[in-house]
Amino acid sequence: MPVDEEIPLQVEDPYGLSTQADELTAAMMSRRHGMTTVALRFPRLGGPRDKLRHAAREWAADRAAGARELWSYLDVRDAARAAWLAVTRPVEGHHVVTVAAPNTLMSEPTEKLLAVFHPDSERRAPVSDRAVPVDLGAAERVDLGAAERVLGFTARHVLP
């Protein structure tokens, strides 16, 4: 922790396997044919008035329920913008991009949650306050890595 695009996928289900196969296919097409490919990795998606609020209530009642997704989320409006940027930005090569809101859906500090639900995960950097544990560039600032570097993306619709 924090995770980034360089950490190998740890496939546990058919959806994860298909995602991995798609990313590998995109990388191969980029290498072989010089195509530009951008693979977007999304967390829990939803709108602010429905699915995300429901997930926040669900995870508050059962903190373990969000542990697999690292309590991360993204508003569908931001997901649509990330997809638009992925097809319109002038980039070359193959890129894997994780897009997420900078904070978790939880009210408690992320480090506390990680200590309980991911105690054996290596800590590569501290995670401040409620920051999503994804590719932190500095302890006080969430740097969502390739999303900012490749797409110029930062989430605009962040829940408090």
**What does the domain layout of the chain look like in residue ranges?**
14-151
Phi-psi region of 157 (alpha: psi -120 to 50; beta: other; left: phi over 0): beta
Q: How would residue 136 be classed by pLDDT, with cut points 50, 70 and 90?
A: very low
- Give the pLDDT confidence of 88-124 residue by residue, as tens digits: 999 999 998 889 999 999 999 999 999 999 999 888 8
- Give the pLDDT confidence of 29-70 residue by residue, as tens digits: 999 999 999 999 899 999 877 889 999 999 999 999 999 899
Give the burial string for 33-47 (b: 16+ CB within 10 Å, else e).
eeebbbbbbbbbbbe
pTM here is 0.86
Terminal alpha carbon distance of the chain: 23
